[in-house]
Amino acid sequence: MKDEYDFSQSVKNPYIKKLKKQVTIRLEEEIVEYFKGLAEETGISYQSLINIYLQDCVKSQRKLSLEWLRKA
């Protein structure tokens, strides 16, 4: 190993923006089973499939439409 290294010509990591953040999210069992089924069909992990779906929502600026029912 060298005593010193020259980093003056180094380049920033071009993939730094692509790093993923680990989060904990609670999903209904049927949602997880749905994506696990897709994972078996496609050979892609279900976590990756969920990420791809959410990326698509972001790219298409999809908005959720919610309506709350009022009690009578």
Q: What is the pLDDT of residues 7-55, one digit of tens each?
A: 999 988 887 777 888 999 999 999 999 999 999 999 999 999 999 999 9
56 pLDDT more than 90: yes
pTM: 0.66
Write down the domain spans for the chain.
25-59
Contacts of 34 (CB under 8 A, 6+ apart): none
Task: Taking each helix axis as running N to C, give the angle between helix 46-59 and helix 29-42, from 0 to 180 degrees, rounded to the nearest 10.
Answer: 100
Q: What is the pLDDT of residue 13?
A: 82
Q: What is the pLDDT of residue 20?
A: 86
